[in-house]
């Protein structure tokens, strides 16, 4: 038997209205067999999974320069270009390693799956926690950086940056609730507009450098005065901090390996090709922006205009092309969060299936998206933006620490994978992963040291806390599973315990009669209980009860303190002395026609149900009565 689409339709007026709102906002529900149609071709996948990595080129160069300007003008260009080349080489090694993961672990999961299969569960949980934390940071940083691109072009919007950022997160959240294919249609155009515009800036800048443009000086346009004396003593620390700041360029590299199942077949091949294209574009843009910035003396400005905005003015002038590029930059930064909206829910779903996160994360929504993970990611990211006042530079120190820890674990796991598998070409693959593990381990230490006092210490608190939470969740699930499990040799016979039915009643009504009759189908031992603070009124009710519902005794419990729930529970404690008897409490409930009527009915029944949850040898059953029900 298969449930058709009609079976999922709401029947009530409120349910149909809510379904219509959901259809308008996130689209019609999709059947499971439509999942293959939701998978992504490489063009759309590049826009969805690579927007984070590609967009990081817009602020990675600025973060390096922001630290290096403390050194004054001397050697600024040489150091920043050298750092960008070193980071680009690291990007090439990491991207090559993750291409191998796409083939070795096509079911997705990235660093978590690799660590779980080749290292141990604690390492896998550290990788998962670090990635989940960085996905949250990616949404916050990308959106706030996108808002910075907006107020770079329109400074009047600076004061409302936090509101704009939270609104953008809400829009991206709704877009992702519509499903992969829909979000790909929405986010592809801004991604490709930005790539074309950014390549144009790099190309124009390189041409002007080659022809000897007088504006090319490789000296800062503005005077730089080191704020501290004795800078030579601080230089090593600043270089470490600058490298750590620029390493944000690698964030998002792992997202494709986490989402291999989202690609059209052949999944692994398409994912690996997309990852290669993404790494090439990111490397070109990151190094290109750094070279062009240094050539034209661009440095971060305290008044808020970004480095990329200054590069756009140099390349395109104050023309419509500049504003189009700024719009594309703002959009790709705002939509770069989309990478996390695909990585976070998928990773959370895999971890949840292993029992280390609540099972709600594995639930697939109407549009074949992991709705719970998407909504939670949006809510936490928005809270983070508000907490940090929408300031990019306050958020970035928390960024990239977790991602490099997961890089290190995944590369180390792949080294063990190749040592065990020894498949064709394994020595080369082993060498790539070993080099990647060594380099990312070093960079992890550099990033922690360079950003520690700026806020990275918070990551060292949050990630272990997330891991501890995962262990507690798993322990709880494991304990429940052991408690509910049957022995393999156990044979279940017929029930041996008797049932006693107790019906709490406020008076005589059709709802009460229906509940009593239901209780009679369960057991011949049925009794009604009436809690009252007026015995005379209770006696009158008993007379009516015995006349209209003979054969079912009515027990009166006087409550001089006018309590209803506690005296009823105490009555159950008194009568439940026989261990061979299970008490079934049947609650008569009136079903209201309209939503506002619900506040007028069933409050006592809900309180009794809440009081009896978890009570030993007690079963609670609700018997709804509708006005349309036939007279009993």
pLDDT tens by residue, 19-33: 666 666 666 665 555
pLDDT in tens, 432-467: 899 989 988 888 888 787 777 777 788 888 899 999
In the three-class reduction of DSSP (H, G, I as helix; E, B as strand; rest coil), residue 370 is classed as: coil
Token pair in block for residue 64: 């390096």
Alpha helices (H) along 504-625: 510-522, 535-548, 565-575, 603-612
In the three-class reduction of DSSP (H, G, I as helix; E, B as strand; rest coil), residue 506 is classed as: coil
Q: Are 168 and 341 in contact (CB under 8 A)?
A: no
Superfamily of domain 39-476: Amino acid/polyamine transporter I (1.20.1740.10)
Kindly state the helix (H) or strand (E) to which residue 588 belongs, with its residue range: strand 581-590
Q: Are 367 and 30 in contact (CB under 8 A)?
A: yes
Q: Could you identify the residue written with the tokens 């008194």? A: 574
Output the pLDDT for position 404.
Answer: 84
pLDDT in tens, 546-596: 999 998 999 999 888 888 899 999 999 888 878 888 999 999 988 776 666
Output the pLDDT for position 602.
Answer: 55
More confident residue, 623 or 155: 623
- Does 632 score more than 50 pLDDT? no
More confident residue, 301 or 541: 541
Strand partners for 620: 585
* C-alpha distance from residue 597 to each of 202, 602, 629 (Å): 65, 10, 18
Q: Could you identify the residue written with the tokens 């294919």? A: 181
Range of weakest confidence among 93-97, 137-141, 187-191: 187-191
CB proximity list for 75: less than 8 A, separation 6 or greater? none
Kindly state the helix (H) or strand (E) to which residue 182 belongs, with its residue range: helix 180-210
The domain locations on the chain are 39-476, 498-625
Q: How large is the average pLDDT for residues 190-203?
A: 90
Question: How far apart (Å, rounded) are the C-alpha atoms in residues 176 and 26?
Answer: 8
Output the pLDDT for position 267.
Answer: 85
CB proximity list for 584: less than 8 A, separation 6 or greater? 499, 500, 501, 502, 519, 522, 523, 618, 619, 620, 621
Q: Could you identify the residue written with the tokens 């090319």? A: 216
Strand partners for 625: 590
> Longest C-alpha distance within the chain, in Å?
109
Q: How large is the average pLDDT for residues 220-230?
A: 48
Output the pLDDT for position 43.
Answer: 80
Concatenated DSSP letters for 39-74? Answer: -B-HHHHHHHHHHHHHHTHHHHHHHHHHHHGGG-ST
Output the pLDDT for position 223.
Answer: 47
CB proximity list for 28: less than 8 A, separation 6 or greater? 366
Q: Are 199 and 284 in contact (CB under 8 A)?
A: yes
Q: Are 82 and 89 in contact (CB under 8 A)?
A: no
Token pair in block for residue 22: 């959901």
Percent residues over pLDDT 70 in the chain: 83
| Separate counts of helices (H) and strands (E) for the chain | 23, 5
Question: How far apart (Å, rounded) are the C-alpha atoms in residues 132 and 357?
Answer: 12
Cα–Cα nearest to 231, from 449, 79, 74, 453 = 74
- Does 230 score more than 70 pLDDT? no
Q: How confident is the model at residue 382 (pLDDT cuts 50, 70, 90)?
A: very high
The fold of the 498-625 domain, in CATH, is Rossmann fold (3.40.50)
Identical topology for domains 39-476 and 498-625 = no
Output the pLDDT for position 257.
Answer: 80
- Does 234 score more than 50 pLDDT? no
- Does 532 score more than 70 pLDDT? yes
pLDDT in tens, 62-99: 888 877 776 554 456 667 888 889 889 989 988 898 88
Question: How far out from the chain centre does Cα 144 lie?
Answer: 18
Length of the chain: 632
Question: How far apart (Å, rounded) are the C-alpha atoms in residues 438 and 418?
Answer: 16
Output the pLDDT for position 367.
Answer: 60
In the three-class reduction of DSSP (H, G, I as helix; E, B as strand; rest coil), residue 531 is classed as: strand
Whole-number average pLDDT of the chain:
81
Q: Are 586 and 515 in contact (CB under 8 A)?
A: yes
């Amino acid at each position: 038997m298969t449930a058709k689409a009609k079976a999922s339709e709401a029947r009530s007026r409120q349910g149909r209205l809510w379904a219509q709102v959901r259809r308008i906002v996130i689209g019609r529900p999709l059947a499971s067999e439509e999942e293959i149609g939701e998978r992504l071709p490489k063009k759309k996948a590049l826009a969805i999974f690579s927007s984070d990595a590609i967009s990081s080129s817009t602020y990675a160069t600025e973060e390096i320069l922001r630290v290096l300007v403390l050194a004054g003008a001397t050697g600024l260009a040489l150091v920043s270009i050298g750092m960008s080349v070193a980071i680009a080489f690291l990007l090439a090694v990491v991207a090559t390693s993750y291409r191998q993961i796409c083939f070795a672990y096509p079911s997705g999961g990235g660093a978590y799956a690799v660590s779980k299969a080749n290292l141990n569960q604690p390492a896998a949980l550290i990788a998962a926690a670090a990635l989940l934390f960085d996905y949250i940071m990616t949404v916050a940083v990308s959106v706030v950086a996108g808002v910075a691109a907006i107020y770079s072009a329109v400074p009047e919007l600076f004061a409302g940056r936090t509101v704009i950022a939270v609104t953008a997160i809400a829009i991206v959240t709704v877009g992702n609730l519509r499903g992969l294919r829909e979000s790909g249609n929405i986010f592809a155009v801004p991604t490709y507009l930005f790539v074309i515009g950014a390549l144009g800036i790099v190309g124009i800048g390189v041409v002007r450098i080659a022809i000897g443009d007088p504006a090319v000086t490789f000296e800062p346009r503005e005077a730089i005065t080191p704020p501290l004396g004795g800078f030579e003593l601080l230089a090593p620390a600043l270089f470490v901090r600058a490298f750590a700041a620029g390493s944000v360029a690698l964030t998002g590299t792992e997202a494709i390996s986490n989402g291999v199942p989202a690609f059209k077949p052949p999944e692994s091949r398409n994912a690996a090709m997309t990852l290669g294209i993404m790494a090439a574009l990111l490397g070109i843009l990151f190094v290109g922006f750094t070279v062009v910035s240094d050539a034209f003396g661009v440095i971060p400005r305290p008044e808020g205009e970004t480095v990329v905005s200054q590069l756009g003015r140099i390349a395109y002038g104050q023309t419509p092309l500049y504003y189009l590029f700024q719009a594309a930059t703002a959009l790709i930064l705002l939509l770069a969060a989309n990478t996390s909206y695909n990585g976070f829910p998928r990773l959370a779903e895999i971890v949840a299936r292993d029992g280390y996160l609540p099972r709600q994360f594995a639930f697939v929504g109407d549009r074949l998206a992991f709705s719970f993970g998407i909504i939670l990611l949006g809510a936490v990211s928005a809270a983070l933006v508000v907490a940090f006042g929408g300031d990019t530079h306050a958020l970035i120190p928390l960024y990239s620490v977790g991602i490099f820890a997961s890089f290190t674990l995944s590369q180390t796991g792949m080294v063990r994978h190749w040592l065990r598998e020894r498949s064709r070409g394994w020595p080369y693959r082993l060498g790539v992963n070993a080099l990647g593990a060594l380099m990312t381990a070093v960079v992890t230490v550099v990033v922690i040291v360079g950003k520690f006092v700026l806020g990275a210490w918070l990551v060292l608190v949050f990630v272990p806390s997330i891991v501890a939470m995962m262990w507690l969740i798993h322990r709880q699930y494991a304990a429940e599973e052991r408690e509910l499990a049957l022995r393999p040799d156990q044979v279940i016979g017929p029930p041996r315990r008797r049932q006693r039915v107790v019906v709490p009643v406020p008076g005589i009504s059709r709802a009460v009669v229906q509940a009593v009759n239901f209780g009679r189908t369960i057991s011949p031992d049925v009794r009604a209980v009436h809690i009252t603070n007026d015995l005379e009124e209770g006696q009158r009710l008993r007379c009516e009860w015995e006349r209209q519902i003979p054969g079912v005794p009515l027990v009166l419990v006087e409550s001089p303190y006018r309590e209803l729930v506690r005296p009823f529970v105490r009555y159950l404690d008194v009568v439940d002395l026989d261990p061979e008897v299970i008490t079934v409490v049947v609650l008569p409930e009136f079903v209201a026609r309209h939503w506002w009527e619900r506040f007028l009915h069933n409050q006592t029944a809900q309180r009794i149900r809440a009081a009896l949850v978890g009570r030993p040898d007690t079963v609670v059953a609700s018997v709804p009565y509708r006005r349309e029900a036939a007279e009993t």
